[in-house]
Structure 1
């Protein structure tokens, strides 16, 4: 962690939470906490990590980037 007042130490996590809220929770609200937890788990492990494109690896999904790097 950086010093007090430095806004960059949490930027990656804040971006991740904004993405989940915009792409999942605001579009499809759940009735119970358990259903919301399961939807978030499925989103992260089924879409966000393996398939969602990101700017850092040249707008490729993590799977495509790793295939090219190997």
Structure 2
């Protein structure tokens, strides 16, 4: 994928601060993320790290089946 496209991706603040980092009864991801230091009061750090991963990360093909490719 074009790195210029990746640099311009906008990650919605509400998705991070009001959804992903909020504790839930079921399927809670915030507990795992808080172990890495990501909490609602510093959601900006998660946004920066996600952008960095998009731009600098490597996509690895995990498997391919009749539905398409699965990445790690």
Q: TM-score normalised to the size of structure 1?
A: 0.31
Name whichever structure is richer in strand by fraction: 2
**Which protein has greater RCO, CA pairs closer than 8 Å, 6+ apart?**
2
Query: Higher helix fraction: Structure 1 or Structure 2?
Result: 1
Instruction: Provide TM-score, normalisation by structure 2.
Output: 0.31
